[in-house]
Structure formats: structure tokens, C-alpha cells
Amino acid sequence: MTKSEIAIDIQETLDRLFPETPVPLDHKDPYTLLIAVLLSAQCTDERVNQVTPDLFEQADNPFDMAKLDVDFIKSIIRPCGLSPRKSKAIYDLSHILIDKYDGEVPQDMALLEELPGVGHKTASVVMSQAFGVPAFPVDTHIHRLAYRWKLSNGKNVDQTEKDLKRIFPRDTWNKLHLQIIFFGRAFCPARGHNPYECPICSKYGRKTMFHEFDKKKKK
């Protein structure tokens, strides 16, 4: 099978298993999504969703957030990890949104990436899930699965994003990146993964996975 044929079959499998793809991070608008995605760096979505209700009760818009003390923000988001850096980024970007964009989150990838604490992946999530603009946010999980399924060479997340965008139709990107995340959590974890039982790896997985699994099984 060609890579395009494999991609079509993978997409059909994901559509069958995950027809609905709710955004894992609780939010109500582009700003609260932006903050939630920023907090999710090196933190689980579940933990973020436990923290953001308290934070957004204090401030769910840049105007109110800019009135808070950085240390106070830090005390709320501490469970998410990296709280000194994240709290300063939240405070600073809120001021920038007020000063430059009248308190609105810009609907532009480049402008989002200029905000403190906002990298390409975070900007991609906001563009795709808040504004509906086709983007393909690639986190470590998607990067891992794309390599396992031989859709990318695993060189880096930037290359993986380019490879996936080239393989899959543009109008599927926003849903597909969430489907891959959901699939990874349910069937294709980083550790303890049995490629023989995985609906996708069992058909298209790299041979090294099976060799490594067989070796561990023999021990």
C-alpha cells in the first residue's frame, strides 16, 4: 500500500472509533482556551481542567487577569507545574492583548506566536479550535504515533507537522489531530504498548516495535 492509501485507512479507523472530538481543555472563548493550552505544557489536560475553574473565577478575561498579582496567579496554577514562568506569561500576554488588540485574542498565527509563553503548537490549537482555521497542532503524542505508523521519520515535531499536512486533506486537520490524541490515550500509549493489539500499529506499525515487544515478553 502507498502512504496515501495507508493514511486513508488510518483516517477511516479514527473516524469509526472517535466520530466526536470535543476539545479536552475546558474553555468558553478564545482567551480561556489560550490560557488553558498555555497551562497544559508538560501537564495533563485533566490537571489543567482542575485548576482553571479557580483561575477563571478570579479572571476569565485579559482585563481582570491584568489586575491580578503575578504571585497570586502563580499560587492558583502551581499544580500545573512551571508556575513561575506560566504565571508571568499569563500576566504579560493579558496586558499585551489589552494594549495591542483591545482585549481580543488575535486570529493570526504569527501574532499569537509573538505572545509570551505561546509557541507554535499553542498557537495552532487556538487557531484550529477557537477560530476554526485549519491547523495541525503536533504534540509529543502525535509525533510519536506518526513515527510509529511510518507517516513521518520522527526527526522533529516540525517535520512531523509538515508530513501530516502533506498526507491528510486540509479540511480534516482540526478534527484529525484530536482523533490521534484520543487514539493514543486509548490504544497507543508511550509505555506498555502492545502493537499486536493496536488497531493501527497491528497493520502499519514499524517492525522495531514488534521486535522490542517480543524481547520484553521473552524476559
pLDDT digits (tens, 9 = 90+) for 34-62: 999 999 999 999 999 999 999 999 999 99
End residue of a domain, out of 130, 161, 195: 130
Task: Please report, for residues 60, 120, 139, 164, 176, the alpha-carbon distance to residue 160 in angstroms, rounded to integers and kept in the order given.
Answer: 34, 13, 10, 6, 14
Residue 82 zone, left/alpha/beta (φ > 0; ψ -120 to 50; rest): left
Output the DSSP codes for 104-128: PPPS-HHHHHTSTT--HHHHHHIII
CATH number, domain containing residue 170:
1.10.1670.10
**Range in 23-27, 111-115, 152-156, 166-170 the model is least confident about:** 152-156
Do both 94 and 109 map to the same domain?
yes
User: 219 pLDDT band (50/70/90 cuts)?
Assistant: low
Instruction: Cite the DSSP H helix spans in the chain.
Output: 3-17, 30-39, 45-58, 62-65, 70-77, 83-101, 109-113, 120-125, 140-148, 157-167, 173-187, 201-204, 207-218
CATH number, domain containing residue 69:
1.10.340.30
Q: Is residue 25 part of a domain?
A: no
Catalytic residue among 60, 74, 86, 121: 121
Do both 81 and 11 map to the same domain?
no
Asked if residue 178 lies in contact with residue 137, where contact means CB atoms within 8 angstroms, the answer is: no
Asked if residue 148 lies in contact with residue 63, where contact means CB atoms within 8 angstroms, the answer is: no
| Number of domains making up the chain | 2
Catalytic residue among 60, 74, 86, 139: 139
Asked if residue 7 lies in contact with residue 149, where contact means CB atoms within 8 angstroms, the answer is: no
End residue of a domain, out of 130, 151, 166: 130
CA–CA gap between residue 83 and residue 124 (Å, rounded): 22
- Termini Cα distance of the chain: 34
The string of pLDDT tens digits covering residues 58-81 is 999 999 999 999 999 999 999 999
Active site residue 121: yes
CA–CA gap between residue 23 and residue 45 (Å, rounded): 10
36: containing domain: 30-130
- What percent of the chain lies above the pLDDT cut of 90? 90
Q: Is residue 149 part of a domain?
A: yes
User: 1 pLDDT band (50/70/90 cuts)?
Assistant: confident
Q: Is residue 191 part of a domain?
A: yes
The string of pLDDT tens digits covering residues 138-182 is 988 899 999 999 999 878 999 999 999 999 999 999 999 999 999
Quick one: average pLDDT of 195-206? 96
End residue of a domain, out of 130, 151, 183: 130
Active site residue 29: no
Dihedral over alpha carbons 94, 99, 105, 107 (to 10 degrees)? -150
Kindly report the average pLDDT of the chain as a whole number.
Answer: 95
Whether this model's pTM surpasses 0.85: yes
